[in-house]
Structure 1
Amino acid sequence: MSETMPRLFTALAEWGSCMLFLLQYSRRLRGPRFWLTAAGALVVQVVWLEGTGSLPVAFWMPAMAVAVGLMFLFLALCGRSDLLGAGYCTVRAFLLAEFTASLEWQLYAFFVWETKIDGFVPATAFLVVIYGSVFLLAYHLEQRVSQGGDLPRMTGRELLSAASMGLAAFLISNMSFVTANTPFTSSVEQEIANIRTLVDLAGVVILYAYHIQLFELHTRRELDAIKNILQNQYVQYRQSRESIDVINRKYHDLKHQIAVLRAEQDPARRSAFLDQMEEEIQHYEAQNKTGNSVLDTVLTGKSLYCAKHQIKLTCVADGARLAFMDVMDICTLFGNALDNAIECELSIPDKEKRLVHLEVYAKKDFLVIRCENYCPTPPVFDHGLPVTTKADREYHGYGLKSMRYTAQKYGGTMTVQAKDEWFQLTLLFPLEHH
């Protein structure tokens, strides 16, 4: 049996590691397109590694660098992450592939040495069992960290740290293949295999621990951003409350002024103008009386903004049902829902089609909050939430996450969908707990 690992096995390990990350996180390609691309990537990886297997040792490192580049292209083409995220996954996938291939080959070599049984069938069986076990375990551990979420946006420094750890582990584990004349290498076949497997395992574990810390760091950042959004919505509510109190006083004064003016002999045109003013005042007083003063304040502030930008905002709300909610949470839910809807309507050139509708009502044992807005271009969804269209994604997209966080706080759920040129956001809260 040859002491050199078949290049085919290495190619399969590298491809399998890439597939692990592509199946774990969101992808740009799906369905038949993804699987065709994956099959093509496997063929390219196998052809390259098999074709460079007979090159001298001096060309081994450049050939491996190209193989890593092919893994990066595969991940960047199929995955939804940016280039830094694809590079980060490439580092982890490559080191995992090195460990998996080394472990499988070492165990198979030991099996052949002990049993003297060699051939295609046992080699294939070992390959399927070891590769399958390692990748399933790695997928499970990755899922425990991500918890169904997507890969956080990487920074250049984070990628550089991961790449440094991965490169160090790879160089130390493979040093014996280049030269045996160092304190950290060996010329004995069994020792070479042990060094490679154990160092690769250590590298995989270190990168996994680093990955856990990165996820925790990004989660803390996201929670801080959500808390800032909650606080900002509450500040907006307080500002709106103060502004509306001033407006109410002004309207109250105007009503008395109109009563005095009516007692005088005024021209018909001025009378008609005063009639119109009074009608507007009555309309203003009648609107946004939902039974919840916080919701009234939020709606009034948004209504004034919508009127200024020719957006038709309608509302049918039983605000008394919101009594169980904290003031800040009401500001968060309705402020973010209306802000997102209004932002979408501002992009519609036809002002007649700028429509937003809000409902709050009880149905059976649930409180339903539904916000709908006209949306001729449906957004792209990722993990149940629309992907932000803003260029700086790192600091946007937290509005809906903060709403989902608030809904879960009260045992509720949030769903979003785009259908028939309408975007609909629905929140459900069980009433029996409140």
Structure 2
Amino acid sequence: MTDIFPDIPRIYTALAEWLACLVYISILRRKIVGWRLGAFLVGGLVLQSAFLVVTRDLPLPFWIPSMIIAIGMMFLLIYLSCDITITEAGYFTVKAFVAAELVASFQWQVQYYLWYDTNSNLLLEVLLLIIMYGGVFFVIWMLEKRHIPDNGRLNVNKRELRATVVIGVAVFVISNLSFVTSRTPFSGQYAQEILNIRTLVDLGGFAILFAYHIQINEIRIKRELEAVQNILKNQYLQYQQSKESVEIINYKYHDLKNQIIALRAEEDPEKRNAYLTKMEEDIQAFAAQYKTGNKVLDTLLASKNMYCIKNGITLTCVADGTLLNGMDVMDICTIFGNALDNAIEYEKKVEDKEKRLIHVSVFAQKTFFMIRVENYFEGNLELEGDLPLTTKKDKYYHGYGLKSIRYSVQKYDGVAKVDQKNNWFELKILIPMLTQKEK
């Protein structure tokens, strides 16, 4: 069947595959940058072109293996250039391959239509190639860029990769079936038929993959929102439980103080007096000693402080809680609850208990108020996007605590930022001063 009309030049196919990879590399989080990335991409184009040109005259049985190798080269180009997982690299490789097949087929069909009966001019062919490759790949770039997260990570799982591969294989087989045999219901017998089938099948395949990509993205966003909402609810429930616990402890604290007073009124040998003094010191740790001016913050701090005491962590606070009085209770729980939970989780890993330090401050700064949660930090802070790089095994659910903080802060037109200063990790939140109307 390939004798009916000249097939797409292999150099055109190589260029289409390379440009398709370039589209996705440009919108993903990159592992290498600058001139190194440029040199690597140019090297990839040279190798891709050389391989496809050298294998153009291979017999049909070797055609599929050579295409698999070409796809493997696309995979390596994307995977080595971008800071993504192997699963994500496989997913974007399939999308890039189908996009390359579509653009190459579409361009060749237009060229075949324009110059089938006439001698074409090389300059006009190159100009058509530049216009069509540049225009179509730019449209694909615009479409895909809108549906890639800001951090360039889609968190594709293996099930989603398998579905994408099945779609890609089906598209490739059906679009190229006419080149193998015309004795199927899906094959064409004439040049224009074959071109139409290939281009339309590739277009349909790309549309299916694009729709599936949007669905994956929506599912990811839905999962993220559900996770954030669960964190919001859990922090509020923790606050309610902490409030009840603190009230019970305060009642018990006052009861014990009265018992100690009664005991002191009796005979008080030196040993008994020392024992009672120790009791008084121990009980003092569980008193609701935080008086910031905001009852929700007081309760949260008292609850977290009890947990800190159990784990040898020193929690200090200098806060004007009245600045928070215009905020929703759930937002206060989310911001301070998650910030303190993250700090406590890290401090528990610090071997030297003398360095297990957390400090909370809330203060006015011109027309804003600042919330700052600091904890002792060893090592260098590495960021993934605007979130600290996780060391947890389950990276998919990483960062939802900070994302929920940011979500709550944005409701008040505020901003949240993480930073490191010397041996301190800082979460800084800046919110416009709440007006009386808002309060």
TM-score bucket (shorter structure)? over 0.9
Distance 2:211 2:305 in 1: 50
Distance 1:205 1:256 in 2: 76
| 1:404 alignment partner, SS class | helix
Q: Deviations 1:326-376 (Å, cap 9, x if unpaired)? A: 212211111111111111222222222222221112212222211122222
1:304 corresponds to which letter in structure 2?
M
| 2:147 alignment partner, SS class | helix
Q: Deviations 1:203-262 (Å, cap 9, x if unpaired)? A: 111110111111111211111111111111112112211211121112111211222233
Q: With the length of structure 1 as denominator, give the TM-score of the two structures.
A: 0.92
How big is the shift at 1:414?
1.6
How big is the shift at 1:294?
1.1
How big is the shift at 1:273?
4.6
Bigger shift: residues 409-418 or 83-92 = 409-418
| 2:67 alignment partner, SS class | helix
Instruction: Find 1:242's aligned residue among 244, 259, 273.
Output: 244
Q: Does the CA contact (< 8 Å) of 2:88 and 2:155 recur in 1?
A: yes
Bigger shift: residues 266-275 or 11-20 = 266-275
Q: Which residue of 1 aligns with 2:430?
A: 428
Residue 79 (1) aligns with residue 82 (2): yes
Distance 1:12 1:321 in 2: 60
Q: Deviations 1:378-428 (Å, cap 9, x if unpaired)? A: 343122112321111223321111111112222222222234332221222
Q: Which residue of 1 aligns with 2:68?
A: 65
Q: Does the CA contact (< 8 Å) of 1:15 and 1:45 recur in 2?
A: yes
Q: Which residue of 1 aligns with 2:330?
A: 328
Residue 49 (1) aligns with residue 52 (2): yes
Q: How does 1:279-290 map to 2 (within 5 A)?
A: 285=287, 287-290=289-292
| 1:356 alignment partner, SS class | strand
Gaps of 5+ in 1: none
Q: Which residue of 2 aligns with 1:206?
A: 208
Q: How does 1:131-210 map to 2 (within 5 A)?
A: 131-146=133-148, 148-210=150-212
| 1:315 alignment partner, SS class | strand
| 2:361 alignment partner, SS class | strand
How big is the shift at 1:79?
2.6
Distance 1:64 1:126 in 2: 25
How big is the shift at 1:191?
2.6
Q: Does the CA contact (< 8 Å) of 1:412 and 1:430 recur in 2?
A: yes
Q: Does the CA contact (< 8 Å) of 2:318 and 2:362 recur in 1?
A: yes
Instruction: Find 1:340's aligned residue among 312, 317, 342.
Output: 342
Q: How does 1:190-339 map to 2 (within 5 A)?
A: 190-275=192-277, 277-278=279-280, 285=287, 287-339=289-341
Q: Does the CA contact (< 8 Å) of 1:369 and 1:426 recur in 2?
A: yes
Q: Return closer, same or farther for 1:361/1:14 CA change in 2, 3 Å cut-off.
A: same
Q: Does the CA contact (< 8 Å) of 1:152 and 1:215 recur in 2?
A: yes
1:361 corresponds to which letter in structure 2?
F
Distance 2:401 2:99 in 1: 36
1:17 corresponds to which letter in structure 2?
A
1:188 corresponds to which letter in structure 2?
Y
Distance 1:288 1:229 in 2: 24
Distance 1:312 1:396 in 2: 26
How big is the shift at 1:37?
3.1
Q: Which residue of 1 aligns with 2:112?
A: 109
1:421 corresponds to which letter in structure 2?
N
Q: Deviations 1:6-39 (Å, cap 9, x if unpaired)? A: 2122112212222222221223333444333333
Bigger shift: residues 414-423 or 228-237 = 414-423
Q: Deviations 1:44-78 (Å, cap 9, x if unpaired)? A: 22222122111012211111111112222222333
Distance 1:419 1:131 in 2: 49
Instruction: Find 1:21's aligned residue among 21, 24, 37.
Output: 24
Q: Does the CA contact (< 8 Å) of 2:415 and 2:431 recur in 1?
A: yes
Q: Return closer, same or farther for 1:419/1:103 CA change in 2, 3 Å cut-off.
A: farther
Q: Which residue of 2 aligns with 1:3?
A: 6
Distance 2:109 2:365 in 1: 63
Instruction: Find 2:383's aligned residue among 374, 381, 384.
Output: 381
1:76 corresponds to which letter in structure 2?
Y
Distance 1:40 1:305 in 2: 56
Instruction: Find 2:373's aligned residue among 371, 375, 381.
Output: 371
Gaps of 5+ in 2: none
Q: With the length of structure 2 as denominator, give the TM-score of the two structures.
A: 0.91
| 1:261 alignment partner, SS class | helix
Aligned identity (percent) is 50
Q: Does the CA contact (< 8 Å) of 2:231 and 2:401 recur in 1?
A: yes
Aligned-residue CA RMSD (Å): 2.3
Q: Which residue of 2 aligns with 1:392?
A: 394
How big is the shift at 1:116?
4.2
Q: Deviations 1:186-214 (Å, cap 9, x if unpaired)? A: 23223322221121111111110111111
Bigger shift: residues 317-326 or 103-112 = 103-112
Q: Does the CA contact (< 8 Å) of 2:249 and 2:286 recur in 1?
A: no
Q: Does the CA contact (< 8 Å) of 2:250 and 2:288 recur in 1?
A: no
Q: Does the CA contact (< 8 Å) of 2:343 and 2:375 recur in 1?
A: yes
Q: Return closer, same or farther for 1:8/1:419 CA change in 2, 3 Å cut-off.
A: farther
